A and B are shown apart, each in its own frame.
Chain A
Amino acid sequence: MKRRDFIKSVAIGLGGLLIPADKSDASLWETFFQKYFREMTPEEKKNIAKRLEKEYKEKTGVSINIKTNEALPGVKYGYGLDLSRCIGCRRCVYACVTENNLSRKPQVQYITVLEFKNGEKWVSDLEESKKYYKHDEVPAPGHFYMPVQCQQCDNPPCVKVCPTKATWKEPDGIVVVDYNWCIGCRYCMAACPYGARKFNWAEPTVPPEQFNPNTHYLGNRPKFNGHVEKCTFCIQRTRENPGRYPACVEICPVGARKFGNLLDPESEISQCIEKKRVFRLKEELNTNPSFYYFFSL
């Protein structure tokens, strides 16, 4: 018996005991034995996507599209955030929730906007940050704001620690998660210095009529209980050709968010890096983020 077959037969036994029986038998086995995404042929990827689309349709009556397209050649995404402009309105937070089909209850949000008092320590010590600020109007006088989300590190600690290789860095620089391959150990959450990884502590809920039907397997497809997810620079938008901006960039009312191809010297992000004095968050940790903060004023 091959090692793989043996493991499979053991898993069948355990799976029978542990998987909730609210799915049809065939779909249940297919879900349980679904291969690791990076091992699938393009054909297999398509079939899995079709199955997941069908499952969502059966569950909610809503048709969605799950793409599995690969990274575009010659592209490495970079992100810029202009701290002089950000007013802390959190429109990006909610645009992200809607675009990426994040659970409304319990709430999952990829972007955290931190508020700091002018003059207080902040860059290397975030202990003075305020996450749950509440004002009638922003920006609050005497305060400034720093949104934080996945920094798409070139040296990602989360990828290093994952025991199953369920999270990895794509050729275009996006760190992604195969939700079906993740076992929910949350080691990556302990390893991430930016609080960017979010766990589904319960079955996520998104009203089907609000579900964004344009999805990617590695991004905003339907998610479930017990796995980790994270910002993917809106992989379902940015990998289109021509690509679209991530939802947070598009919504920002003050143009604080910049996005583009780091490999193209003429792109907006490359120009920002070239012309502004940029810094990256927690540079002392050598994570080497693709996410640049700068001041335009």
Chain B
Amino acid sequence: MTAAFIIDLIRHITRGNKLYYAWLSVLGLVIAAGAAAYFGQADKGLIVTNMRDQVSWGFYISNFTFLVGVAAAAVMLVIPSYIYHFKPIKEIVLFGEMIAVMAVTMCIMLVVADMGKPMYAWHIMMHPNFPSSLLVWDVIVLNGYLVINLSAVSYVLYRAAHGKEYKMSIMWPIVLLSIPWAFSIHTVTAFLYNGLSSRPFWNASIVAPRFIASALCSGPALMILVFQIARKVSEVEISNEAIQKIAELIAYAMGLNLFLYAAEIFKEFYSRSIHLAPMEYLFFGLSKDGTLHNVLVPFTWIALICNVTAFVIFLMPGLRHKFTTMNVACVMVLIGVYIEKGMGLIIPGFIPDTLGEIYDYLPSATELIVTAGIWAVGALIYTLMIKTAIPIYKGELSLVPKEQRRKIPAH
């Protein structure tokens, strides 16, 4: 039975239209380029990145931080689905959990790409500096979150493959655990930066709340876009109602995010203490010894404009209900939060550095290609998960013997 299932599964995954094959080929190429760039980095050292002692974390950790947010956002679907039994979302919650699986996997890959000696990562298990090091906490919560979401997805699909609904008695503990856990991955990651008194830009209590608020924007925005693509290119049914509900949630989250951001901007610019420097670097650039350092300035303004515009669109029901404007707003949220919770959070933590030096950082070609490769791996994982889940839901891929299956009406 299982063997037949696996053969069926391979048949489903390898079959598709031209667009599907083109998509897989593009992903394959980007992954190959990323892998080649990574082996170059492993050979020569992190010198091939633009990180240096002054700015010791860069593009990898920026992308990591953004993706932790995306992963945590699956909870936005889990709460209405399992707890309030909001039916339209209940049907798609599985796809949200798969986004969490994808995002956490990418997070782990990005951290590995950033390490100087990744093959010694097992040292963490031998002598974990727990509870002192927030990095150990992060390893625990991220891997835990991956396990939780993988179990939820596997269990639901396993039942579906037997033609049965999942049992709430089994699902309930997983759900109850996953909700605080989703908040924990974000809080712990925020604390990782937040706890460092050496970096005034991060050492502000607003960092963790802002992390959560912006995560609840970017994750759902990505989901809305992915769901629309998924229902266009496959036979999965995702109702407009579900998508609209998620859009409404983004409106609240973005409102909160912008409020917290404004609170931070006010405090820094009004008091104008010496800790204003990183914020000034973001918005206007910093002058030192006759040089204006302003490489991040355009990105900061793009992010701000995107976030504010998207907020206005999500706030107005007329614009939110129209799919074109809503999709534009989703893309803007993604751009805005990607900058704000990525480079816009990590780099200014190091500028000026602890001895007052300003080192302008932008990622090197290697960093860009390796990161693109990791994103492609994520996209591939998600594609394959959807390719497995949809036929199971439709009853085309089943663990039930053929003669016992219910007849599926032909399309």
Contact = CB atoms under 8 A, between A and B. Distances in A.
Interface of A: 3-4, 7, 10-11, 14-15, 18-20, 32, 36, 106, 112, 114, 124-131, 148, 157, 160-166, 181-187, 189-195, 197-203, 225-228, 285-286
A272 B52 CA distance: 36
Contacts of A112: 355
Given A125-B274, A227-B117, A165 B354 contact: no
B122 A126 contact: no
B contact residues, range:
35 or more
Nearest 6 CB-CB pairs, A to B? A184-B116, A226-B116, A126-B356, A193-B198, A202-B47, A129-B356
A18 B277 contact: no
Given A14-B119, A183-B121, A201-B47, 16 more contacts: A18-B42, A36-B123, A128-B356, A129-B357, A161-B196, A162-B129, A162-B133, A163-B136, A183-B116, A183-B117, A186-B116, A195-B357, A199-B56, A201-B49, A201-B51, A202-B44
Nearest to B358: A127
B303 to A, nearest CB: 23
Nearest to B43: A20
A131 B355 contact: yes
B115 A183 contact: yes
A130 B291 CA distance: 13
A191 B198 contact: yes
Contacts of A11: 122
A142 to B, nearest CB: 15
Nearest to B49: A201
Contacts of A160: 132-133
B134 A227 contact: no
A19 B42 CA distance: 10
Nearest to A226: B116
A190 B349 contact: yes
A36 B198 contact: no
Contacts of B54: 195
Contacts, number: 163
B26 to A, nearest CB: 27
Interface in B341-356: 349-350, 352-356
B277 A161 contact: no
From A19, A163, A227, name the one whose CB has the most chain B CB atoms within 10 angstroms: A163
From A197, A198, A202, name the one whose CB has the most chain B CB atoms within 10 angstroms: A202
Interface of B: 42-47, 49, 51-54, 56-57, 111, 114-129, 132-136, 139, 192-193, 195-199, 274, 277, 288-289, 349-350, 352-357
Contacts of B274: 124-125, 127
Given A160-B132, A186-B56, A165 B127 contact: yes
B141 to A, nearest CB: 13
Contacts of A285: 197-198
Nearest to B203: A285
Contact of B354 (A161, A193, A199, A202): A193
Given A114-B355, A127-B277, A194-B355, A184 B43 contact: no
Contacts of A195: 53-54, 353-355, 357
A186 B57 contact: yes
Nearest to A14: B119
A284 B307 CA distance: 36
Given A18-B118, A130-B289, A164-B129, A225 B198 contact: no
B124 A164 contact: yes
B111 to A, nearest CB: 8
Nearest to B138: A163
Contacts of A19: 119
A163 B355 contact: no
B196 A157 contact: yes
29 contacts: A3-B125, A7-B122, A10-B122, A127-B274, A127-B356, A161-B133, A163-B136, A163-B139, A164-B124, A164-B126, A164-B129, A181-B120, A183-B115, A183-B124, A184-B115, A186-B56, A189-B56, A192-B198, A193-B197, A194-B355, A195-B355, A199-B56, A201-B45, A201-B47, A201-B49, A202-B44, A226-B46, A226-B116, A285-B198
B123 A166 contact: yes
B124 A163 contact: yes
A14 B123 CA distance: 13
A180 to B, nearest CB: 8
B364 to A, nearest CB: 12
Contacts of B127: 36, 164-165, 181
A166 B116 CA distance: 14
A166 B57 CA distance: 19
A197 B117 CA distance: 17
